[in-house]
């Protein structure tokens, strides 16, 4: 009986949950609200709006006269804000059926139609400043329970006294966890701030200076994070036209907001059972149909998830401030040391998990519309420019001082990150994403470590490049690699000389003695992701050529969108396979220059001390190369070579689609390695099942044997579509399917000049495929491809291919 009594007592004391019910403003408590579980009355809230209960009921219903009922999910700590029914009493009667109010939809239609016209970028010029703060912390209710939990637990540990049963590692882990618990008493889990200045003219576009910033835990700026955008020039999701089918909208009022007549449109989710349970409000200016204010609540209606306010200035709507808040989940402390286990056995403390929230606050001020003081000098460089980092100037821009808890977050998180070397790990991770491993003044390019191809088999190497910590203007580099099939060393040495620090522009001198696949499509100025996507393009061919010689180039990322490169080379080139060109042999001196341009619409960049970094890349994208060989400096060839690549990606209600169009042309005096291989990925001369399995190539065909086709002129295309049907796999991962169709056709006008066994693609070569994203919880996409059309054969195995591709590489 005594044991049963204590079990019941422990359940009543430690198995309780607390519910707080307030009015819509979130402050005034609601006394006497009824709490139901499956239509069974559990009790009433007290004078403080609090109700303590012990139930495992999944869903609770809160009811109070004059207010809409709320349904919420059970948790350790709950807070509910009730919406008054009286809000509707002075409003013209509206239909609350499953269809949106036609009047509301007519207003929203005009809002969307006039959105661009109401945008600040319709102004001749403007400037303003912004202050952003992002933080992660316990919510206020959980904080109170956390403090009780910590001190209760601390007293229990004191009662235990010294314990010698656990190891040094267990003691260290326990002390580390205790330090983290103590830190959260006085500080949050993360905070970051930045101050910005926005500048715009019709001639120069928008430019953003990052005036100052600080991120807890890191001493060096994370440039990718500094350039994160706000909703400053975007509509909230539920206002956009493609979201209308998921919500129901009702014109419910007309108010005077900032001395302007304003429509009030309430909206709810289409699946909501309670037809009067609105989750948000849209305020639309009557005169301009601009968005004046927007409020949206979370799914349970308990927390404001987004509030945005816009300001009417000189005929445009400027975002003045926005606040976002969303629940991240629970912070859980697991008791893993012997001392803690004994504490739990002695005095059970209920709360060991506490709700955490992320909060983003953006404030914009000092509007100058128009700003006639702006000059071309104010727009020097890329879209983003970092002026300072460290937080010394942030006090000038904060709308209100940091709280004591926010101030304490910086040193607390800094100490934890430093102790666990997380700041160093973050910096290394950021550099790896940029294709390098950094050790102080030295960068190790990742792409120099390893390669796999039929000619060299396995290629291992190492590259070293001195970075901006060595010198801001000079950056020498060297690499060496060894092929285990050809038993030959390859090497190169180079020097970059920066011409400016405001953008990425540099001269480069280099000498190389290396090998490359014959007929490879030019990938100069491709992005890092595209290069990864094309990494297996040469994996299946023996047809490589060697080259050694000097190259001098100039590369300039002139604007966010436009980059060009001019290269001059003098090299000795020779075929590393049986070949004779025009009865002149297989070895030539080639003096040539190449001009390359890259243009990407909607690209945004940030200039960092280590170079330009693309923050965003839009579509379409264009890459063009022109190469000309000259009979100068001993050159023996006189050919023209041209190639292009265009990429476009677009999103519709039917999913994401991507299209690529590419092609090339080479004149008759070009040796075979300066023409275009067909794009075969299947290993040359191999049969069997594994010969049909290949890796990713950006412009390639899994069913085509490598080295079989060459063209001196060709055109190719790729069409991919991601079906908008996402499902959970066996282990709960999110999966989808891509449908692929691609083809190529070409010709070779002077085939007899080349003593090599190959074919031109004079008929359309076609391949269709189906890819399974994220199959079996892996980070791989599994693709099945089949050859159709003219080159299809009666043997299934000849037409079939399997492809593996990293998920993060998209199509």
Closest by CA position to 364, among listed 206, 135, 194, 116: 194
Residue 481 lies in a domain: no
**Domain co-membership, 154 together with 48:** no
- What pTM does this model have? 0.76
**Domain co-membership, 82 together with 17:** yes
Q: Is 776 helix (H, G, I), strand (E, B) or coil?
A: helix
Place 608 in a pLDDT band, splitting at 50, 70 and 90: confident
Length of the chain: 811
Q: Is the pLDDT of residue 782 over 80?
A: yes
**Domain co-membership, 151 together with 64:** no
Residue 55, domain CATH: 2.60.40.1120
Residue 642, domain CATH: 2.40.160
**Domain co-membership, 669 together with 627:** yes
Question: What is the spatial distance between Cα 264 and Cα 254, in angstroms, rounded to a whole number?
Answer: 6
**Domain co-membership, 556 together with 411:** no
Domain's final residue, options 54, 88, 122? 88
**Domain co-membership, 120 together with 50:** no
**Stretch among 5-14, 78-87, 613-622, 716-725 having the lowest mean pLDDT:** 5-14
Place 690 in a pLDDT band, splitting at 50, 70 and 90: low
Q: Is 162 helix (H, G, I), strand (E, B) or coil?
A: coil
Please give the pLDDT value at position 93: 46
> Cis (ω within 30 of 0) for the bond into 101?
no
Residue 619 near residue 650 (C-beta atoms within 8 A): yes
Total structural domains in the chain?
A: 3
Please give the pLDDT value at position 405: 87
**Domain co-membership, 172 together with 110:** yes
Please give the structure tokens belonging to residue 614.
Answer: 């693309």
Place 200 in a pLDDT band, splitting at 50, 70 and 90: very high
The DSSP output letter for 413 is: H
The DSSP output letter for 522 is: P
**Domain co-membership, 558 together with 670:** yes
Cα angle value 671/672/676 (rounded, 5°) = 125
- What's the rounded mean pLDDT across residues 141-151? 59
The DSSP output letter for 716 is: E
- What's the rounded mean pLDDT across residues 94-104? 72
Q: Is the pLDDT of residue 91 over 50?
A: no
Domain's final residue, options 62, 88, 114? 88
Could you tell me the residue range of the domain that residue 579 belongs to? 499-809
- What's the rounded mean pLDDT across residues 286-305? 79
**Domain co-membership, 125 together with 162:** yes
Which strand (E) or helix (H) includes residue 491? strand 488-498
**Domain co-membership, 35 together with 166:** no
CA distances from 663 to 541, 588, 595, 645 (A): 21, 26, 17, 7
Please give the pLDDT value at position 337: 43
**Domain co-membership, 140 together with 64:** no
Place 344 in a pLDDT band, splitting at 50, 70 and 90: very low
Please give the pLDDT value at position 537: 83
**Stretch among 108-122, 215-229, 758-772, 793-807 having the lowest mean pLDDT:** 215-229
**Stretch among 322-331, 466-475, 704-713 having the lowest mean pLDDT:** 322-331
The pLDDT mean for the chain works out to: 82
Q: Is the pLDDT of residue 100 over 90?
A: no
Question: What is the spatial distance between Cα 605 and Cα 274, in angstroms, rounded to a whole number?
Answer: 47
Please give the pLDDT value at position 95: 44
Residue 298 lies in a domain: no
Q: Is 344 helix (H, G, I), strand (E, B) or coil?
A: helix
Domain's final residue, options 392, 422, 452? 422
Residue 264 lies in a domain: no
Residue 281 lies in a domain: no
Question: What is the spatial distance between Cα 474 and Cα 498, in angstroms, rounded to a whole number?
Answer: 7
**Domain co-membership, 540 together with 415:** no
Please give the pLDDT value at position 340: 47
- What's the rounded mean pLDDT across residues 384-391? 84
Residue 709 lies in a domain: yes
Residue 451 lies in a domain: no
Over residues 566-604, the pLDDT tens digits come to 999 999 999 999 999 999 999 999 999 999 999 999 888
Q: Is the pLDDT of residue 260 over 60?
A: yes
- Highest averaged pLDDT of the listed ranges 433-437, 473-477, 703-707: 473-477
Strands 604-608 and 710-711: unpaired
Q: Phi and psi of 618, rounded to 5°?
A: -95, -165
Residue 339 lies in a domain: yes
Residue 307 lies in a domain: no
Please give the pLDDT value at position 74: 57
Residue 713 near residue 666 (C-beta atoms within 8 A): yes
- What's the rounded mean pLDDT across residues 437-451? 91
Place 5 in a pLDDT band, splitting at 50, 70 and 90: very low
């Amino acid at each position: 009986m005594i044991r049963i009594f204590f079990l019941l007592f422990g359940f009543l004391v430690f198995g309780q949950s607390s519910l707080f019910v307030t009015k819509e403003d979130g402050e005034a408590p609601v006394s006497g609200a009824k709490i139901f579980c499956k239509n069974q009355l559990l009790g009433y809230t007290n004078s403080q709006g609090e109700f303590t209960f012990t139930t495992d009921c999944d869903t609770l219903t809160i009811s109070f006269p004059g207010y809409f009922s709320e349904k919420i999910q059970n948790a350790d700590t709950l807070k509910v804000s009730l919406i008054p029914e009286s809000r509707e009493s002075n409003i013209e009667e509206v239909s609350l059926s499953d269809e949106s109010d036609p009047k509301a939809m007519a207003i929203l239609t005009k809002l969307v139609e006039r959105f661009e016209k109401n945008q600040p970028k319709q102004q001749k010029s403007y400037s303003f400043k912004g202050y952003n703060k992002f933080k992660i912390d316990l919510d206020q209710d959980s904080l109170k329970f956390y403090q009780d939990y910590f001190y209760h637990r601390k007293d229990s540990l004191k009662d235990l006294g010294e314990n010698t049963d656990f190891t040094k590692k267990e003691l260290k882990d326990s002390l580390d966890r205790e330090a983290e618990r103590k830190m959260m008493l006085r500080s949050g889990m993360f905070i970051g701030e930045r101050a910005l200045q926005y500048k715009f003219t019709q001639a120069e576009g928008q430019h953003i200076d990052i005036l100052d910033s600080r991120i807890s835990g890191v001493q060096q700026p994370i440039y990718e994070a500094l350039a994160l955008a706000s909703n400053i020039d975007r509509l909230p999701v539920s206002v956009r036209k493609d979201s209308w089918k998921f919500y129901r909208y009702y014109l419910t009022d007309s108010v005077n907001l900032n001395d302007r007549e304003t429509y009030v449109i309430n909206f709810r989710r289409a699946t909501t059972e309670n037809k009067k349970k609105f989750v948000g409000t849209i305020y639309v200016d009557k005169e301009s149909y601009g968005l004046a204010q927007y409020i949206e609540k979370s799914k349970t209606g308990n927390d404001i998830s987004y509030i945005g306010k816009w300001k009417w200035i000189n005929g445009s709507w400027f975002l003045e401030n926005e606040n976002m808040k969303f629940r991240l989940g629970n912070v859980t402390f697991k008791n893993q040391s012997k001392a803690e286990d004994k504490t739990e056995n002695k005095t059970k403390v209920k709360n060991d998990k506490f709700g955490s929230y992320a909060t983003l606050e953006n404030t914009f001020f000092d509007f100058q519309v128009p700003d006639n003081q702006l000059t071309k000098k104010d727009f020097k460089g890329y879209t983003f420019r970092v002026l300072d980092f460290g937080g010394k100037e942030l006090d000038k821009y904060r709308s209100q001082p940091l709280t004591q808890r926010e101030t304490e977050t910086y040193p607390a998180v800094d100490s934890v990150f430093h102790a666990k070397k997380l700041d160093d790990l973050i910096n290394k991770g950021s550099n790896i994403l940029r294709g390098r491993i950094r050790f102080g003044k030295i960068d190790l390019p990742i792409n120099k470590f390893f390669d796999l191809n039929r000619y060299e088999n396995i290629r291992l190497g190492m590259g070293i490049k001195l970075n901006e910590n060595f010198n801001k203007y000079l950056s020498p580099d060297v690499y060496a690699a060894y092929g285990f099939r050809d038993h030959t060393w390859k090497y190169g040495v180079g020097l970059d000389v920066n011409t400016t620090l405001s953008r990425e522009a540099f001269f480069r001198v280099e000498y190389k003695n290396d090998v490359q696949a014959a007929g490879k499509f030019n990938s100069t100025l491709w992005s890092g992701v595209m290069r990864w996507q094309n990494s297996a393009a040469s994996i299946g061919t023996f047809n490589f050529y060697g080259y050694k010689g000097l190259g001098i180039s100039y590369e300039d990322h002139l604007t966010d969108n436009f980059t060009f490169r001019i290269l001059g080379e003098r090299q000795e080139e020779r075929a590393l396979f049986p070949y004779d060109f025009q009865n002149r042999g297989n070895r030539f001196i080639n003096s040539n220059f190449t001009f390359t341009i890259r243009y990407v619409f909607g690209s945004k960049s940030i200039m960092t001390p280590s170079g330009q970094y693309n923050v965003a890349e839009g579509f379409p994208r264009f890459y063009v190369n022109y190469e000309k060989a000259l009979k100068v400096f001993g050159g023996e060839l006189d050919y023209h070579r041209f190639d292009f690549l265009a990429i476009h990606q677009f999103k519709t209600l039917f999913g994401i689609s991507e299209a690529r169009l590419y092609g090339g042309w080479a004149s008759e005096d070009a040796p075979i390695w300066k023409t275009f291989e067909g794009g075969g990925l299947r290993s040359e001369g191999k049969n069997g099942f594994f010969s049909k399995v290949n890796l990713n190539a950006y412009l390639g065909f899994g069913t085509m044997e490598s080295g079989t086709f060459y063209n001196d002129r060709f055109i190719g295309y790729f069409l991919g579509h991601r079906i908008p049907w996402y499902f959970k796999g066996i282990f709960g991962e999110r999966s989808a399917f891509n449908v692929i169709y691609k083809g190529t056709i070409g010709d070779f006008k002077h085939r007899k000049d080349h003593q090599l066994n190959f074919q031109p693609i004079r008929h359309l070569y076609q391949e269709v495929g189906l890819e399974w994203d994220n199959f079996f919880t892996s980070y791989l996409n599994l693709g099945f491809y089949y050859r159709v059309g003219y080159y299809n054969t009666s043997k299934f195995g000849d037409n079939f291919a399997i492809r593996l591709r990293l998920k993060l590489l998209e199509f």
